């Protein structure tokens, strides 16, 4: 029984289709470097797995992401030419966002087949646990990089969250029923 | 009210458990001294001290599992864990090894001792021995007993008993099971890991998801069916003319509806499995069980659970509490 995850709006998928991967990689790299700096405990939890290459495959987007925690790098690549990696995790974007923000349990998404994993299972487990403990908040990470635009960005992301159902900020765990 | 003992694999999960209403949270150090020694999990000594402060400030207790069996010659690792637990101000340690229990009783007499499920103490004689010889105050019972058997045990022991009510279901006599060792060389007893992730491989093969452990195929799951962990005790095997789950199906324990009977059987504490799970799982399960123990204390009916989707196999069983193993 799959989880009741929101689907990425078709319009967003169409907009994302022609996005160039180089500027996207620059943005992702900046967010990843900031997360590594502000959440150093993630690298400690990853331990020997910090040097692994993780392919994150949001199956409803036209590109895949390569995360290299030790180098604090994340880059976007066309799905047709995925980079070499040690472990791959695939599923809808909404599943990744829900797991990162504490709205869904990673194992439950695996049981329900919403997420699939391949490759170095131990590395993926370490990554999942490190991210869960860090209690990340993507909205706040982007806002911190946006200078004077932080307030309107928060507003825009909150609206996008309401409109799409995607978990774009860390949820208050107290609201989980 | 029955005590609700909840899992935490990370400080974030511990905070989630406390905030959701856990009376006690159990956790372990990030090494081979505890039976959930998984990548990215567990607590450093500093994490533990902060966790204790957080829990105590909110009226919750912290129990530390040091429940693997020390390797000969490497005892100092386990002894350090005991010292560190006491220095952190934890409320109890959960131990399984007789030698470590003797060490704790002699060197840390003020540190409350619980007997881990890993000790597999399943009868009054064994439990009373641990109580008399090592001052054990509570015993976590193995998941192989019926409610009637638990009731009979409680009539003959002085110590508190704690039973599992939710989560991954270990169907073997815990602390005695070596199935994981046969496939991977590592076991929960000695290394703190059952079916360690380093030996697990998943691959999509045609319309099936193949799950392997140490190179052995444990499951082939058709498209759309719930994916299980590749543990040998819940594997799908062919034996003679029969193909199926020889030991147990990939299901999880949910004994919510048995809580009133467990209370009547004299059980003091209810334990939730899942230190390897996320803070989201912890928050949802703890909240549901806090409502259940409050309902039991008030004499109200047990609330209907909606936790099946969080469990392996997406299906629940009452385990041995209400049946005999085949």
Please, which residues bridge with residue B95 across strands?
B66, B115
Q: What is the dihedral of CA A138, A141, A146, A150, to 10 degrees?
A: 70
How far does A101 lie from chain B, in Å, by closest CA? 9
* Residue B118 distance to chain A (closest CA, Å): 24
Distance (Å) from the alpha carbon of B44 to chain A's nearest alpha carbon = 10
The pLDDT assigned to A175 comes to 60
In angstroms, the Cα distances linking B127 to A113, B24, B186, B261, B305 are 42, 22, 28, 21, 32
d(CA B76, CA B42): 19
Cα–Cα distance between A156 and A171 in angstroms, integer? Answer: 17
Higher pLDDT, B308 or B182: B182
Distance CA B121, CA B194 (A): 20
What is the assigned CATH class of domain B3-169+251-322?
alpha beta
Q: How many CA atoms lie within 13 Å of B116's alpha carbon, on the beta-carbon side?
A: 31
Half-sphere exposure for A5 (CA within 13 Å, toward CB): 26
> CA of B134, closest CA in chain A: separation in Å?
35
According to the model, what pLDDT value does residue A10 have? 81
Q: What is the pLDDT of residue B173?
A: 81
Tens-digit pLDDT profile for residues B25-53: 999 999 999 888 899 999 999 999 999 99
- Residue B173, classed as helix, strand or coil, is coil
Considering chain B, what is the average pLDDT of its residues? 92
Which residues of chain B make contact with A103, given a CB cutoff of 8 A? 280
* pLDDT bracket for residue A122 (50, 70, 90): very high
Lowest mean pLDDT among A8-17, A142-151, B145-154, B263-272: A8-17
Determine contact: B277 vs chain A, CB below 8 A.
yes
pLDDT digits (tens, 9 = 90+) for B235-245: 998 888 888 88
**Order of strands across the sheet with A54-58?**
A73-78, A63-68, A54-58, A87-91, A116-119
The chain-wide mean pLDDT, for chain A, equals 92
**Three-state DSSP class for residue A125:** helix
C-alpha closest to that of B265 among B114, B146, B154: B154
* Strand, helix or coil for residue A123: helix
Tell me if B197 and A174 make a contact (CB, 8 A cut-off).
no
Chain A contacts of B203, Cβ < 8 Å? 118
pLDDT of residue B313: 67
Q: Please tell me the predicted confidence (pLDDT) of residue B5.
A: 98
The band of A11, judged by pLDDT with boundaries at 50, 70 and 90, is confident
Instruction: Determine the distance from the C-alpha atom of residue A19 to the mean position of all C-alpha atoms in its chain, rounded to a whole number.
Output: 18
Measured CA to CA in angstroms, residue B296 lies from B2, B6, B98, B149, B153 at distances of 8, 18, 35, 21, 22
Counting residues of chain B whose pLDDT is more than 70, the rounded percentage is 97
Confidence at residue B277, expressed as pLDDT on a 0 to 100 scale: 94
For residues A170 and B136, give the distance between their C-alpha atoms in angstroms, rounded to a whole number. Answer: 42
Is the predicted pLDDT of residue A47 greater than 90, yes or no? Answer: yes
List CB contacts of B306: < 8 A, sequence separation 6 or more. Answer: B288
Bridge partners, residue B210, by sequence: B203, B220
Flag whether pLDDT at A3 surpasses 80.
Answer: no
- Residue A174's pLDDT band, with cuts at 50, 70 and 90, is low
Q: Which residue bears the tokens 């797991």?
A: A99
Residue set of the binding site of B: 170, 177, 194, 233
Mutate to test the interface with B, among A132, A136, A137, A171 (most CBs of B within 10 A): A132
Residues B308-326, mean pLDDT to the nearest whole number: 70
The residue among B171 and A53 whose pLDDT is bigger is A53
Rounded to whole angstroms, the Cα distance separating B182 from B178 reads 7
pLDDT, average across residues A166-177: 78
Query: Which of B40, B278, B312 is opposite residue A126, by nearest beta carbon?
Result: B40
Three-class DSSP category at A117: strand
pLDDT tens per residue across span B72-95: 999 999 999 999 999 999 999 999
Q: List the domains of chain A with CATH numbers.
A: 10-136 (3.30.1050.10)
The residue extents of the domains of chain B are 3-169+251-322, 179-245
Q: What is the mean pLDDT of residues A54-65?
A: 95
> Is the ipTM reported for this complex over the cut 0.90?
yes
Reply yes or no on whether the pLDDT at B139 is more than 70.
yes
Strands (DSSP E) along B151-248, which ranges?
A: 160-168, 200-205, 208-213, 216-222, 236-239, 242-245
For residue A13, what pLDDT is reported?
A: 79
Binding-site residues from annotation of B for [4Fe-4S] cluster: 170, 177, 194, 233
pLDDT of residue A177: 54
Residue B191 and residue B177: Cα distance in Å, rounded? 13
Per-residue pLDDT tens over the stretch A71-119: 999 999 999 999 999 999 999 999 999 999 999 999 999 988 999 999 9
pLDDT value at residue B297: 96
User: Average pLDDT for residues B242-257, to the nearest whole number?
Assistant: 86
A/B interface, count of CB pairs below 8 Å: 122
- Residue B30 tokens read as 């990030």
């Amino acid at each position: 029984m799959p989880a009741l995850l929101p689907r990425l709006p078709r319009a967003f998928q169409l907009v994302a289709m022609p996005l160039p991967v180089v500027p996207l990689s620059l943005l992702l790299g900046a967010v990843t470097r900031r997360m590594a700096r502000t959440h150093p405990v993630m690298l400690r939890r990853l331990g020997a797995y910090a040097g692994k290459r993780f392919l994150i495959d949001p199956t409803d987007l036209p590109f895949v992401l390569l995360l290299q925690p030790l180098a604090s790098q994340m880059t976007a690549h066309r799905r047709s030419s995925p980079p070499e990696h040690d472990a791959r995790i695939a599923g809808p974007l909404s599943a990744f966002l829900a797991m990162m923000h504490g709205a869904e349990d990673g194992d439950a998404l695996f049981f329900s087949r919403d997420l699939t994993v391949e490759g170095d299972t131990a590395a993926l487990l370490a990554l999942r646990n490190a991210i869960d403990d860090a209690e990340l908040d993507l909205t706040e990470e982007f806002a911190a990089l946006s200078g004077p635009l932080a307030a309107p960005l928060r507003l825009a992301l909150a609206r996008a969250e309401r409109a799409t159902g995607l978990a774009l900020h860390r949820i208050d765990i107290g609201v989980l029923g | 009210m029955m005590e609700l003992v909840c899992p935490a694999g990370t400080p974030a999960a511990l905070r989630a458990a406390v905030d959701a209403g856990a009376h006690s949270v159990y956790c372990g150090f990030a090494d081979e001294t505890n039976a959930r020694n998984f990548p990215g999990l567990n607590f450093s000594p500093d994490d533990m001290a902060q966790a204790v402060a957080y829990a105590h400030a909110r009226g919750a207790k912290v129990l530390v599992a040091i429940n693997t069996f020390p390797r000969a010659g490497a005892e100092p690792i386990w002894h350090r864990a005991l010292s560190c637990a006491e220095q952190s101000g934890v409320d109890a340690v959960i131990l399984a090894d007789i030698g470590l229990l003797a060490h704790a009783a002699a060197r840390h007499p003020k540190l409350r001792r619980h007997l881990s499920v890993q000790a597999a103490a399943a009868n009054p004689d064994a439990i009373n021995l641990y109580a008399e010889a090592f001052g054990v105050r509570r015993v976590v019972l193995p998941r192989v007993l019926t409610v009637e058997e638990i009731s009979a045990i409680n009539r003959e022991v002085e110590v508190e008993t704690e039973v599992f009510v939710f989560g991954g279901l270990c169907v073997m006599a815990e602390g005695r099971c070596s199935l994981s060792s046969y496939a991977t060389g590592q076991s929960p007893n000695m290394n703190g890991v059952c079916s360690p992730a380093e030996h697990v491989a998943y691959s999509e093969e045609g319309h099936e998801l193949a799950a392997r452990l140490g190179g052995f195929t444990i499951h082939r799951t058709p498209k759309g069916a719930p994916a299980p962990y590749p543990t040998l005790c819940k594997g799908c095997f062919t034996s003679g003319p029969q193909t199926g789950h020889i030991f147990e199906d990939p299901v999880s324990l949910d004994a919510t509806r048995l809580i009133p009977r467990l209370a009547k059987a004299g059980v003091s504490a209810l334990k939730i499995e899942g230190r390897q799970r996320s803070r989201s799982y912890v928050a949802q399960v703890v909240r549901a069980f806090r409502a259940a123990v409050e309902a039991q204390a008030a004499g109200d009916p047990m609330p209907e659970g909606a936790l099946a989707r969080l469990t392996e196999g997406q299906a629940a069983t009452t385990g041995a509490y209400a049946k005999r193993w085949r």
